[in-house]
């Protein structure tokens, strides 16, 4: 660097301060690089400045023990600050703590209310959990219409577990007329998105020929995927499906269970 350049550099104006979005991005990049300590430091400064998303992210670090010691009570405090500021993720995360009773008293009604607020803000995970709670009658009396409404909203946002729930509601006539064809369609979409219970239910539908043409070979492939994914719903059907196939058909079905799946269409 020449002496003129050094003089220019000395008297040059300082760079403009980073925007909140740039600082949030910097913290996110640190977290993505597994430098959670750096991410926590950046989020803490922003959280102290009242940035709701940083408060929510800092709470998540305390909830999971990332870059700090795990502290559910501290997580709840930061989530509550974010929730009061209107942050959907903060509301959903605080709802999860109330649901589990971690860092705050266990309170299904409080969880339901917070999930509802986040769901109204189009948070897909909150919509899915709200649907489940309304279906199960947790935190409020069972509300089948509400459960279906929020499952549809979550499904529109690509949540596979909500698609599986919609299939179950259609199959069991919960909040709607029984429609096994619609049930199989939802399970097929959930299955292609990797939801293990959706895969199990699609396999069962294919085996029974309910809502879809009977196809035991395809059924076995989906049931095996479901079993590998941890769904206990597949187990009761596996014996009967295998018995319906020749050894060669079963081997081909087993191979299909390990093949890449087509991209989801919905």
Is pLDDT of 262 > 90? no
Task: Tell me if 81 sits within 8 A of 112, measured CB to CB.
Answer: no
What's the mean per-residue pLDDT of the chain? 94
Q: Model-level pTM?
A: 0.88
Is pLDDT of 105 > 70? yes
Choosing from 106, 137, 155, the residue where a domain stops is: 106
Share of the chain above pLDDT 70, in %: 92
The span from the CA of 143 to the CA of 119, in Å, is 16
Q: Give me the mean pLDDT over the 241-258 stretch.
A: 94
The span from the CA of 45 to the CA of 105, in Å, is 28
How does pLDDT run across 170-205, given as a tens digit for each residue? 999 999 999 999 999 999 999 999 999 999 999 999
- The answer to whether position 179 is within a domain reads yes
Is pLDDT of 17 > 70? no
How many domains does the chain fold into? Answer: 2
Distance of CA 84 to the CA centre of its chain: 23
Q: pLDDT grade, residue 231 (50/70/90)? A: very high
Q: Give me the mean pLDDT over the 202-214 stretch.
A: 98
Task: Tell me if 230 sits within 8 A of 197, measured CB to CB.
Answer: no
100 lies in the same domain as 175: no
- The answer for residues whose C-beta is within 8 angstroms of residue 92's C-beta and 6 or more apart is 114, 115, 118, 123, 125, 126, 129
- The answer to whether position 195 is within a domain reads yes
251 lies in the same domain as 168: yes
Q: pLDDT grade, residue 259 (50/70/90)? A: confident
Q: Closest by alpha carbon to 217, among 189, 238, 179, 245?
A: 245
Is pLDDT of 265 > 60? no
Q: Closest by alpha carbon to 135, among 120, 150, 157, 122?
A: 150
Predicted pLDDT at 188: 98
- The answer to whether position 92 is within a domain reads yes
Q: Give me the mean pLDDT over the 204-222 stretch.
A: 98
- The answer to whether position 152 is within a domain reads no
Predicted pLDDT at 123: 99
- The answer to whether position 9 is within a domain reads no
Task: Tell me if 197 sits within 8 A of 161, measured CB to CB.
Answer: yes
The domain of 74 spans 19-106
Predicted pLDDT at 213: 98
- The answer to whether position 39 is within a domain reads yes
Q: pLDDT grade, residue 260 (50/70/90)? A: confident
Q: Output the domain CATH number for residue 173.
A: 1.25.40.10
Q: Give me the mean pLDDT over the 39-52 stretch.
A: 96
Token digits of residue 95: 């709802």
Please tell me the least confidently modeled range out of 16-25, 103-112, 246-255. Answer: 16-25
Choosing from 64, 90, 106, the residue where a domain stops is: 106
């Amino acid at each position: 660097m020449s002496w003129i350049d050094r003089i220019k550099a000395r008297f040059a104006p300082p760079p403009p301060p980073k925007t909140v979005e740039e600082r949030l991005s910097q913290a996110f990049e640190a977290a993505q690089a597994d430098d959670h300590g750096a991410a926590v430091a950046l989020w803490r400064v922003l959280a102290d400045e009242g940035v709701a998303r940083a408060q929510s992210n800092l709470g998540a670090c305390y909830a999971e023990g990332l870059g700090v010691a795990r502290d559910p009570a501290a997580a709840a405090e930061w989530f509550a600050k974010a929730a009061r500021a209107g942050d959907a993720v903060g509301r959903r995360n605080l709802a999860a703590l109330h649901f589990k009773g971690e860092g705050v008293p266990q309170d299904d009604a409080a969880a339901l209310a917070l999930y509802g607020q986040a769901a109204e803000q189009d948070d897909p995970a909150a919509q899915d959990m709200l649907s489940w709670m309304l279906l199960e009658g947790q935190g409020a009396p069972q509300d089948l219409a509400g459960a279906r409404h929020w499952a549809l909203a979550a499904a529109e946002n690509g949540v596979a577990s909500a698609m599986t729930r919609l299939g179950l509601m259609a199959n069991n006539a919960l909040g709607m007329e029984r429609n096994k064809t619609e049930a199989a369609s939802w399970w097929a979409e959930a299955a292609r998105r990797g939801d293990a219970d959706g895969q199990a239910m699609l396999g069962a539908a294919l085996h029974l020929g309910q809502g879809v043409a009977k196809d035991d070979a395809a059924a076995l492939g989906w049931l095996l995927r479901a079993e590998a994914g941890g769904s206990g719903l597949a187990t009761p059907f596996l014996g009967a499906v295998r018995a319906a196939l020749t050894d060669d058909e079963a081997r081909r079905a087993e191979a299909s269970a390990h093949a890449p799946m087509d991209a989801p269409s919905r």
